[in-house]
């Protein structure tokens, strides 16, 4: 008799697959509750959301674009795409990670408080990262930085010992390279 201590209610997955990160672009009708539907799908089915951004992109057609960064096995990623695609207000789902070369960007605002050398060092680093100063007082800066998530992580890590107070990030947005739309 097996002595496994599995606590799932259902049989275990047939194949153990590696976890992958994917970024999905989802075009939806901009209607009340559409974001709740998408988020409810992820929470209800136990999928991960690493980052989610949403905004109306085509006002006259009432279309919004949701960019979701998620993680899962290839089977789960396929499920997520299919589950999204079958939702009534969803027009298109594109997996930016496999659709072709794509650019991913994030914007962060980073508040740093400090005086003396720390302040000078923060300003010098922000210059190296091409971050802009968008607010300043005698003892603080707010930097605006855009870039890939790793670059922003790195910048934040560098600010940590220099007096990091607060970070606000937009989450990932993505678009395909080249002349064609999705």
In degrees and rounded to multiples of 5, residue 125 shows phi and psi of -65, -40
Nearer to other proteins, 3 or 137 (CB): 3
Q: Which H/E stretch holds residue 123?
A: helix 117-128
Nearer to other proteins, 58 or 150 (CB): 58
For position 13 contacting other proteins by CB under 8 A, the verdict is yes
DSSP string, 56-122: EEETTTTEEEEEEEEEE-HHHHHHHHHHHHTSTTEEEEEETTTSS-EEEEEEEEEEEE--THHHHHH
Shortest separation between residue 58's beta carbon and other proteins, angstroms:
10
Q: Which residues within the stretch 47-66 sit at the binding site for other proteins (CB under 8 A)?
A: 60-63
Binding mask 66-95 for other proteins (x = CB under 8 A): ---------x--xx--xx-xx-xxxxxx--
Kindly list the residues in this chain that would bind other proteins in the complex (CB under 8 A): 1-4, 6-15, 29, 32-33, 36-37, 40, 44, 60-63, 75, 78-79, 82-83, 85-86, 88-93
């Amino acid at each position: 008799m097996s002595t496994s201590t599995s606590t799932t209610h259902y049989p275990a997955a047939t194949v153990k697959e590696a976890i992958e990160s994917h970024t999905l672009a989802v075009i939806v009708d901009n209607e009340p509750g559409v974001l709740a539907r998408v988020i409810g799908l992820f929470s209800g089915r136990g999928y991960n959301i690493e980052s989610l951004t949403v905004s109306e992109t085509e006002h006259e057609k009432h279309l919004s674009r949701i960019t979701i960064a998620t993680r899962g096995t290839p089977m789960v990623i396929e499920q997520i795409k299919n589950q999204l695609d079958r939702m009534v207000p969803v027009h298109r789902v594109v997996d930016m990670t496999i659709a072709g070369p794509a650019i991913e960007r994030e914007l962060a605002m980073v508040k740093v408080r400090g005086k003396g050398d720390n302040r000078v060092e923060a300003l010098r680093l922000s210059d190296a990262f091409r971050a802009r100063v968008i607010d300043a007082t005698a003892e603080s800066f707010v930097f605006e930085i855009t870039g890939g998530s790793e670059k922003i992580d790195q910048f934040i890590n560098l600010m940590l010992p220099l007096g990091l107070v607060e970070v606000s990030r937009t989450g990932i947005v993505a678009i395909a390279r080249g002349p064609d739309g999705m």
